[in-house]
Structure 1
Amino acid sequence: MQEEVVETVEPVFGEEEVAEENAQAKQVEELVAKLEESDNRYLRLQADFDNFRRRTKMDLEATQKYRAQNIITDLLPALDNFERALQAQVDHDQAKSLLQGMEMIYRSLLEAIKREGVEPIEAVGQEFDPYLHQAVMQVEVEGSAPGMVLEEFQKGYKLKDRVIRPSMVKVSQ
């Protein structure tokens, strides 16, 4: 009997095939790295665009919220003048009717700016707040706590949550 000899043939790779396989693996790695870099760049660009859109929306909302600020700032000196004129004491009937007309105009101006979100800042009797009040005088008053607003020289105003003009006040020491 003859013995059969079975030979298994293992493929023999030459250096060329190994070098070619390594080159292909390296090329695949480079392509994967480029793809990841492109994905990262795309995600950063998308995040930048989202941030831009959010910033633009916030700017537009702030513009809408404070759109009346310039005109109100221009009207405040006129309101101050109305207040001074209304404090005048008159005896003549014609002057009294004129004063009543000025008071009506003054009230309608106050209502108009109130509809836009303008509020006067409360000052007298309040604790001094440097964000709301501008101290122009300090005096010592017995029986008054230090840092309290004693007198208001010029009324301050806020537009929604923004101070347009701080109140000019006298503060106790």
Structure 2
Amino acid sequence: MLRKKKAAEASENINNVTTENTEQNENPLADELNVNPQGETEEAPAAEAPQLSPEEKLKADLVSANDKYLRLYAEFDNFRRRTNKERAEERQTAGKDTIAALLPVLDDFERAIKAMETATDVIPVKEGVALIQNKLKSILTSKGLKEMDTKGTPFDADIHEAITSIPAPTDDLKGKVVDELEKGYLLNDKVVRFAKVVVGA
């Protein structure tokens, strides 16, 4: 009987220890997940962003502004170089269309010179030269060139260059162009060559 009683007590002690361990380890992940006894998960406090001092903030703004300035300067420099290159190319080819249009006139002059070497009649040669001249004038007119009409017009220093003055043949020619020594030309209404004239005094 004594042995049975001791065995029963030992068995009861073992059951008590097992029950306590089970209650303590009922949820082994509870501590890691910060679970409270009611089963609600507690969030870990978020890490706060570091606060910059006024000096550090100013330094950061300065670095950002300097970076933007360098980028803008690089873009402007590239634009300037590209524009200069395009302008240089335009200057080199500005007269390309006009020169190409004048090449047929040059060909006509070469043919006329060859014809004059064996020509026995002057009249056909003169007619050929007149045709070439008219062709040249037509091409230049199509490009915006215009002859000045100066004789009998009032002297204008903006378009005329007075070579000399002579007594006016009539009173109505005083202060006007009496004679023209060299034609003046306008290109799209802008003077490309002043007319050299004689003015009546």
Smaller-chain TM-score bracket:
0.5 to 0.7
Q: Which residue matches 1:28?
A: 57
- Counterpart of 1:121 in structure 2 is 148
SS of equivalent to 2:192: strand
Q: Which residue of 2 aligns with 1:156?
A: 184
Counterpart Cα distance in 2 of 1:128 and 1:49? 50
Alignment-mate amino acid for residue 128 of structure 2: G
Unaligned runs of 5+ in 1: 1-20, 76-93
How far is the alpha carbon of 1:169 from its aligned partner?
1.0
**1:40 equivalent in alignment to 2:69:** yes
1:102 to 129, 152, 156: 129
Deviations 1:28-78 (A, max 9, x none): 202202322332343344445555555665666666555548x98xx9xxx
Quick one: percent identity of the two aligned structures?
A: 18
Aligned positions, number:
130
Paired with 1:55 and 1:128, the residues of 2 have a C-alpha distance of: 41
Local SS of the residue matching 1:143: helix
Q: 1:111 to 1:42 in 2, by over 3 A?
A: same
Alignment of 1:1-173 (within 5 A): 24-47=53-76, 49-50=78-79, 66-67=95-96, 68=98, 94-141=121-168, 142-146=171-175, 148-173=176-201
SS at 2:172 equivalent: coil
The range that moved more, 128-137 or 26-35, is 128-137
Tell me if structure 2 keeps the 8 A contact 1:121–1:167.
yes
Return the alpha-carbon distance in structure 1 between the equivalents of residues 84 and 189 of structure 2: 20
Q: What SS does the corresponding residue of 1:123 show, helix, strand or coil?
A: coil
Q: Which has the higher contact order (CA 8 A, sep 6+)?
A: 1
Tell me the TM-score normalized by structure 2: 0.48
State the TM-score, normalized to the length of structure 1.
0.54
